[in-house]
Amino acid sequence: MDDRTPARIAVLGTGLMGRPMAGRLLAAGFPVTVWNRTPDKARPLADNGAAVASSPAAAIRDADAVVLMLADAPAIRDTLLAGEAAALLHGLTVIQMGTIAPAESLEVAAGVVRRGGSYLEAPVLGSIAEAAAGRLLVMVGAPPALFERWLPVLRAFGPEPRLIGPPGHAAALKLALNQLIATITTAYAVGLGMVRRAGVDLSLWADIVRSSSLYAPTFDKKFNRMVDREFTPANFPARLLLKDLRLVVDEANRIGLFAPFLEGLVEIVARAVEAGFGEADYSALAAAVEPPSNPA
């Protein structure tokens, strides 16, 4: 790649987030090849100018960098570090943007570097709307020179990608943020349940929280969904929050934090998933907190 030629980018994983992110790369003028395990989710990107590959290896064969927006670390191992694709990593830069644990990120990094590739982790905060608008908060774990080199690509996803530190640091920060999402959303659902069952006007609850220093903007985004029990369509599905919370618990145990409430959060979100809300928005945890069948 010379400085005047836009880098050729492969995107593996065109799910809820990967699809609009691939769209951002195309809009920014990068030649993009996409692959998705379920081909129907990749094909619509052909209308925006993407080449659609039939395998991960075919997607990365002629690429300068590959953006991974896959569900989890096992998906990354199956897709990139196994089979034909693993033999094509030499000279390729891997930009891993899904939410995985720091140790998993380091393991993927080692697998990529061992095969002659380069590795950046770049997990994101923000959801589908932010991905479509290029307003994600992009947190990067990489050597500084690699961060600088790939900034033009990272800027397609968010206006101000931030270098957090070496690989592992951005992954840790992302897990810390997602435990915050789960914690404050659950706490809000518990409060809502308490005041609803006491017969308090729910708009008073929302107003008073909003006027207080306890307020977080996410509360208003989730209020109607929780009150109306309308949890679809999902931005961030409950099954993915459950995946992240399990990573958070493992990480907290590994580094010696005492935070037993995290196990309770896993139980709550797992219950919502078991009740059929896995594909619903994670605010469906409110349905587990306040089950309809409970006596008021």
Pick from 93, 99, 185, 283: which binds ligand NAP (CB under 6 A)? 99
Q: Which DSSP helix (H) or strand (E) runs through 171?
A: helix 169-198
Closest to ligand NAP by CB, 17 vs 288, is 17
DSSP 64-75: SEEEE--SSHHH
Interaction between residue 246 and ligand NAP (CB under 6 A): no
Determine how many CB atoms are found less than 10 A away from the CB of residue 80. 27
Closest to ligand NAP by CB, 17 vs 153, is 17
Closest to ligand NAP by CB, 16 vs 209, is 16
* Strand 137-141 versus strand 124-125 pairing type: antiparallel
Interaction between residue 13 and ligand NAP (CB under 6 A): yes
- Tell me how far CA of residue 74 lies from CA of 1, 81, 192, in angstroms: 30, 10, 37
Token pair, residue 27, equals: 């809009």
Mapped onto helix, strand or coil, the DSSP state of residue 144 is helix
Closest to 95 (Cα-Cα) out of 44, 41, 155, 40: 155
x-marked contacts with ligand NAP along 225-244 as a string, rule CB under 6 A:
----------xx---x---x
165 has which bridge partners? 141
Pick from 7, 27, 51, 75: which binds ligand NAP (CB under 6 A)? 75
Cα–Cα distance for residue pair 163/185, rounded to 1 Å: 28
What's the start-to-end Cα distance of the chain, in Å?
A: 65
Interaction between residue 102 and ligand NAP (CB under 6 A): no
Site for ligand NAP in 103-162 (CB under 6 A): 124, 127
Closest to 202 (Cα-Cα) out of 179, 224, 231, 232: 224
Closest to ligand NAP by CB, 195 vs 216, is 216
Closest to ligand NAP by CB, 218 vs 235, is 235
Taking the complex as a whole, how short is the minimal distance between the CB of residue 213 and ligand NAP, in angstroms?
A: 27
Pick from 3, 4, 5, 38: which binds ligand NAP (CB under 6 A)? 38
Interaction between residue 98 and ligand NAP (CB under 6 A): yes
141 has which bridge partners? 121, 165
Closest to ligand NAP by CB, 196 vs 246, is 246
Q: What is the number of the residue whose Cβ is closest to ligand NAP?
A: 15
Residue type, 180: L
Pick from 9, 10, 15, 288: which binds ligand NAP (CB under 6 A)? 15
Interaction between residue 23 and ligand NAP (CB under 6 A): no
Site of tokens 């960098």: 65
Interaction between residue 269 and ligand NAP (CB under 6 A): no
Residue type, 79: T
Token pair, residue 113, equals: 């570097």
Taking the complex as a whole, how short is the minimal distance between the CB of residue 11 and ligand NAP, in angstroms?
A: 10
Angle at 227 between CA 221 and CA 229, to 5 degrees: 95
Binding residues for ligand NAP, rule CB under 6 A, total 26
* Part of the chain binding ligand NAP (CB under 6 A), chosen from 8-16, 83-91, 212-220, 287-295: 8-16
Which residues make up the interface to ligand NAP (CB under 6 A)? 13-18, 36-38, 41, 69-72, 74-75, 78-79, 98-99, 124, 127, 235-236, 240, 244
